[in-house]
């Protein structure tokens, strides 16, 4: 096992990403289109949308690269698997709006990815964590070489994770590659917010994890 990142990261709007292209990724619906699970959106090539319990604040993240599929540690409360292939020679763990990026040093090959969480419900219930608050939700992202395959639900214990899985299952299938290519020029033309995502990509209050305070809550 090779560690790629370990530390606290800042999450906003209950999300953080793995990015490997020069674009701004995609929104919630596009990331989870056609999936059976709602914690790690992998429908957009070269991009992973990682859902968190905490709305705003610091969460604990660990990223690992393995030679083969690692055993699932049953101490994690939530776990899903997806497929991922970097779209460039650089892949980063990226905070919301591009405020910080942590290089993961992944080769351009096919990976299976396991995303695990613990304390996700506690983070959701806390909603916003003050700077001096201890971390309540933690996440583990594991990569290993493997052929593409469907996303898989390995473990689910919390209400907030169940809600996200239900949301993803209700989305339409991901667009075919030809349709995605037609949409790309339009997506690239959207105005970006300073340092990051377009305001049109923010989650609305009807999306999983958004709260009554609305999507503009800092």
Mean pLDDT, rounded, of the chain: 83
CA distances from 39 to 81, 88, 144 (A): 9, 24, 19
What pLDDT does 181 receive?
54
Of the chain, the end-to-end C-alpha distance in Å amounts to 36
Distance CA(210)–CA(124), nearest Å, equals: 10
Distance CA 182, CA 27 (A): 17
Phi, psi of 214 (to 5 degrees): 95, 170
Residue 212's pLDDT band (cuts 50, 70, 90) = very low
Q: What is the band of 170 on the pLDDT scale with cuts at 50, 70, 90?
A: very high
pLDDT at 22: 66
Give the CA angle between residues 214, 217, 218 to the nearest 5°.
160
Sequence-ordered strand ranges (E) for the chain: 2-12, 15-19, 40-41, 47-51, 56-65, 78-84, 92-94, 101-103, 111-118, 138-145, 152-155
Whether the CA torsion 203, 207, 53, 22 is positive or negative: it is negative
Single pTM value for the model: 0.82
Note the pLDDT of residue 26.
Answer: 82
- What stretches of the chain show up as alpha helix (H) in DSSP? 28-32, 120-126, 159-169, 177-188
Q: What integer pLDDT is reported at residue 23 of this predicted model? A: 63
């Amino acid at each position: 096992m090779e560690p790629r990142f370990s530390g606290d990261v800042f999450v906003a709007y209950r999300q953080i990403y793995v990015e490997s292209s020069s674009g701004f990724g995609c929104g919630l619906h596009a990331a989870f289109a056609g999936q059976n699970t709602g914690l790690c959106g992998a429908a957009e090539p070269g991009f992973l949308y990682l859902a968190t319990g905490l709305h705003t604040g610091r969460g604990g993240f660990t990223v690992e690269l393995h030679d083969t599929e690692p055993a699932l540690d049953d101490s994690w409360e939530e776990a899903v698997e997806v497929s991922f292939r970097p779209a460039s020679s650089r892949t980063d763990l990226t905070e919301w709006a591009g405020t910080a990026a942590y290089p993961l040093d992944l080769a351009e090959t096919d990976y299976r990815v396991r995303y695990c969480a613990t304390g996700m419900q506690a983070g959701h219930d806390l909603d916003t964590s003050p700077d001096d608050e201890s971390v309540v939700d933690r996440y583990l992202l594991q990569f290993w070489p493997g052929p593409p395959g469907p996303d898989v639900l390995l473990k689910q214990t919390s209400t907030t994770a169940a809600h996200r899985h239900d949301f993803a299952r209700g989305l339409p299938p991901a667009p075919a590659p030809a349709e995605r290519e037609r949409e790309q020029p339009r997506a690239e033309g959207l105005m970006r917010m300073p340092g990051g995502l377009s305001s049109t990509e923010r989650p609305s209050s009807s999306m999983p994890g958004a709260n009554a305070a609305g999507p503009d809550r800092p």
